Structure 1
Amino acid sequence: MTILDRQLKLIAKQESYDGPAELNDGEGLVARISPTAKITFQYRCRFNGKSLRIKIGKYPATTLKEARRIHKIMMELRESGRNPEIAITGEQDFVTLDDCVNYWLQHYVPTLKKGTQELNRSFAKNYMLGTFPNQNVETIPAKEWMMWLDSISAEKPKTAQSVFAKLRACLNYCKSKFIIERTDIDRIKKQNVGARPENGSRVPTWSELAIIWQAIERSRASTANKTLHQLTMLWGNRLSELRLARLSHFDMKAGIWTVPKELSKTNKPIRRPIPSKARAILERVMETYDDVLFPGHDLDTPITISAANRYIRRIRTSLPLEEWRTHDFRRSLSTGASELGVMPHVVEKMLGHELGGVLAVYNKHDWLEEQLEGYE
């Protein structure tokens, strides 16, 4: 129900008031009324995850018409990712990097897969937010952008290039939404930032995998963290396919694990058989946990990618092996299965890859029996 001006005039003439404490004009604009009949216009909203109640002005010095005009400006500022208080404070109206990153996190990142969402939020928190506070993102010189990226590259050259890619995606999204028009980061070329991630070539041998397996077994981590990585060694899956898995994804009777399309990199379901060694571990996991099979501190929430990576870093530093990472398990499975005579198209299905060319269009077979033989 909208507020009427004559309604406010009647209230303002009274010496006391015992009616509703607020009159609602819609979309967050309210008239707050005190017991002494003093009327104050306010805008209630959420911004950057916080509840705000912004004072617009007191009636009748601020008319209902003026309050609505200011309220409209505030809503436009908020929708564009900027602080609606600017309409009152008169602060310099420019968009900061934090404004852009928060807008991107709020409007674009939630449309991505869960694992990608976590990765983007991690980059935003650890590298982007707070980097250029109170600076107009459109006037930050290319030199300052480059100095910042170089400071990251000094310790983590591959990370610097990933940060650059995420940042450019964020700013391009804001440009597409007309939050900003341009930035000097467009002048920077990708090849001049950090170091490009190398195509993986590390293939842990069977004996190395045995050493890693034993180190995981001896570690004092949670059952969820240990079994997550042991099963990943056996299945050769992408870590988040299993990390985010639910009880309903496993048909123990039929012996099939189905990765739903929302967890699949190919955006299509992936079906794998459950080999005997994996079944024994999986049954133990199912006896320990409920729907979320690989939880973190909260049993209702999957373990985070950062927690999983921290665990593997601890294991890795404790072993006298050449540098390796969890993703290398996939290469070991692919190479080892091929050496044992498993056909290439079956190996590709074990890895959850799409088959190429016309075969991918017409042939939807999963070769589950052949996969199971390969796994065993």
Structure 2
Amino acid sequence: MGKLTDVQIRSWIKLGERFEQRGDGDGLYLCYRESYAIPVWKFRYRLAGKQRIMNIGSYGQLSLADARKTAKEMSARVALGYDVAGEKQDRKREAIAKIEAEKNAWTVAKLADEYFERVILGRWKHPNIVRSRIENDIKPVLGKKKAEDVRPRDIDEMLQIIIKRGAPTIANDVLRWCKRMFDFGIKRHVLEHNPAAAFDPSDAGGKEVARDRWLNREEIAALFQAMREKAGAFTIENHYAVRLLLLLAVRKEELIAAPWREFDLEKGVWHLPEERTKTSVGIDIPLPPLALETLHELKRLAGGSAYVFPARKMQNRMIPHIDLNTLNAALSKHIKPKLKDVPNFTIHDFRRTARTHLAALGVDPFVAERCLNHKLKGVEGIYNRHDYFDERKKALEMWARLLSALEDGRADYNVVPLKKEIAAA
């Protein structure tokens, strides 16, 4: 039977009675120094002729009965020749080492950021496209995993999530970037095997074929009607983005990442520089009245931001404008469910939509192609350096009038063909 009782210990604590040691027998004693907030159990033993002392826990952690049980177990190990204090220190060092290893571990998120900063940023023309795939598709599924722990089944799970949301092209892109990212990790000795190596497009989005989808007048009118009905959930900024993408026939990343310094609203021109175009060809885009009206409103909404579509939330994504996937996600969540009778379309189909309607309005093919900033082909492209600015301006003004009628839901979609208008001018 030990010498201490719980009643005694609680009394010492209540009275604040301090002491170096009060023994209980079998090497167990209680210490209550001035610096201690609560008494501490200690175990004293001898090993190889040397005395050892170790803490085994506070009175708040171990009751008297538990402390005696622990001391008894330790006495038994000491009798077998084990250094229990040394074992405790070893366990502590192992725990600290494990914590440090976890803290310094190469997660997929860390590997992706390193890959982006060292390989993509500053080298790729449109780095935000890669950043979007990393943030929206790779990190949510694999980000917290250690890079070395990722298995092919994890890659398959990620791809299936993308495929099920109806984005096969994005699935192919994500697979391609994952392969490159994990190869980068192998070079940096982060992992030994690429978990995505065995996959090919057939496991992701399949073979990509050229799309031919475009929206007719009724479908465009239905799209704008759905956006009006979902006003609030589908923000006015998203609405304006759709309007400008249809009207100006630019690529999504060209508009979403556009800074205000590229726009001369007084002269009605968007100076899109070559470093932000897919074709590496800069172009001056004429801005019809509908575009200017929209941009003036967006500038008011931007609240002094340097970007037409500034980031809407606090983001740690290294981009000052909205994510490239924001508009896609908003359309999928709020608008497409209301367009059940409209075949599926993508934002990139807006360019084909504009091109088709420009042709229907009688726009010269050369002019229509330059509206999309396509290079003229063959000898014509080599020797014809005319930019068709005035012709493009008239074409986009014609298209803007039609688009405005469709957006307003007006029944009369008849617009004078451009060729007749030019002839009458």
Q: Report the TM-score when normalising by structure 2.
A: 0.57
One-letter amino acid matched to 2:371: M
**Residues 233-252 of structure 1 correspond to what in structure 2 (within 5 A)?**
233-252=246-265
Work out the CA distance in 1 between the residues paired with 2:324 and 2:255.
Answer: 11
SS at match of 2:376: coil
SS state at 1:272 partner: strand
State the alpha-carbon separation in 1 of the partners of residues 130 and 266 from structure 2: 33
- Contact 1:245/1:292 (CA < 8 Å) preserved in 2? yes
Question: Shift in Å at residue 335 of structure 1?
Answer: 0.9
Equivalence for 2:338: 318
Alignment match, 2:327: 308
Distance of 1:90 and 1:272 partners within structure 2: 54
Is 1:200–2:173 an aligned residue pair?
A: no
Q: After TM superposition, give the deviation of residue 203 of structure 1 in Å.
A: 1.2
Deviation at 1:359, TM superposition (A): 4.4
Is 2:371 aligned against 1:365?
no
Report which stretch shifted further, 256-265 or 355-364.
Answer: 355-364
User: What secondary structure is seen at the aligned counterpart in 2 of 1:262?
Assistant: helix
Distance 2:343 2:106 in 1: 46
- Select the residue among 348, 362, 378 that pairs with 1:341: 362
Structure 1 runs (4+) deviating above 6 angstroms are: 88-91, 93-96, 176-181
Secondary structure, aligned partner of 2:144? coil
CA shift at 1:326, angstroms?
A: 2.1
Deviations 1:228-279 (A, max 9, x none): 1111121121122112222221223332112223322223323211112222
134, 143, 149: which one aligns with 1:129: 143
Specify every segment of 5 or more residues in structure 1 that has no aligned partner in the other structure, as ranges. 1-84
SS at match of 2:284: strand
For residue 276 of structure 1, the aligned residue among 281, 289, 296 is 289
Residue 100 and residue 352 in structure 1: after superposition, are their counterparts in 2 closer, same or farther (change >3 A)? same
Q: May I ask how many residue pairs the two structures share in their alignment? A: 286
Residue pair 2:175, 2:196 contacting (<8 A) in 1 also: no
Aligned partners of 1:146, 1:136: CA distance in 2, in Å?
12
How far did residue 362 of structure 1 move? 4.8
Query: Structure 1 counterpart of 2:226, which letter?
Result: A
Task: State whether structure 2 residue 309 is matched by structure 1 residue 294.
Answer: yes
CA distance in 1 between counterparts of 2:159 and 2:263 reads: 46
Question: Equivalents in 1 of 2:101, 2:337: separation in Å?
Answer: 54
Of 216, 235, 244, 2:227 maps to 216
Take 1:194 and 1:179, find their aligned partners in 2: how far apart are those partners?
Answer: 28
Deviations 1:209-230, CA, capped at 9 Å, x for gaps: 1221233344124432221111
Q: 1:156 to 1:118 in 2, by over 3 A?
A: same
Matched residue, 2:181: 170
**Residue type of the alignment partner of 1:216:** M
One-letter code aligned to 2:355 = S
Question: Partner of 1:108: helix, strand, or coil?
Answer: helix
Q: RMSD between aligned alpha carbons? A: 3.5
Shift of residue 298, structure 1, vs aligned partner? 5.3
Q: Deviations over 1:191-223 (max 9, x none)?
A: 344434443222110121122123334412443
Task: State the distance in 1 between where 2:176 and 2:182 align.
Answer: 10
CA distance in 1, matches of 2:131, 2:163: 25
The CA distance in 1 between the partners of 2:156 and 2:350, in whole Å, is 36
Q: Would you say the 8 A contact 2:272–2:283 is kept in 1? A: yes
CA contact (8 A) 1:94 1:136 kept: no
Gaps spanning 5+ residues in structure 2: where? 1-95, 399-425
Query: Structure 1's 200 and 248: CA in aligned 2 closer, same or farther, altered over 3 A?
Result: same
Q: Where does 1:20-169 land on structure 2 (aligned, <5 Å)?
A: 100-111=111-122, 112=124, 113-122=126-135, 123-131=137-145, 133=146, 135=148, 144=153, 147-148=156-157, 151-152=160-161, 155-156=164-165, 158=168, 159-169=170-180
> Please, what TM-score do these two structures have when normalized by structure 1?
0.64
Provide the rounded CA distance (Å) in 2 between the counterparts of 1:134 and 1:192: 21
Contact 2:358 2:395 in 1 (8 A): yes
Matched, 1:256 2:276: no
Pairwise CA distance, 1:323: 1.5
Q: What secondary structure does 2:285 align onto?
A: strand
Change (3 A) 1:308 1:90: closer
Separation in 1 of the partners of 2:380 and 2:320?
38
Which amino acid in structure 2 is aligned with residue 348 of structure 1?
Answer: E
Distance 1:155 1:211, change over 3 A: closer
C-alpha distance in 2, partners of 1:101/1:207? 43
Aligned partner letter, 1:305: L
Report deviation, 1:154.
Answer: 6.7
Cα-to-partner distance string for 1:271-305 (whole Å, 9 max, x where unaligned):
21111222222233334433322234259942222
- The aligned amino acid for 1:120 is R
Pair member with larger Rg: 2
Q: 1:226 to 1:148 in 2, by over 3 A?
A: closer
Q: Cα distance 1:345–1:176, how it changes in 2: closer, same or farther (>3 A)? A: farther
Distance 1:278 1:326, change over 3 A: same
Letter in 2 for 1:129: G
Distance 1:356 1:119, change over 3 A: farther
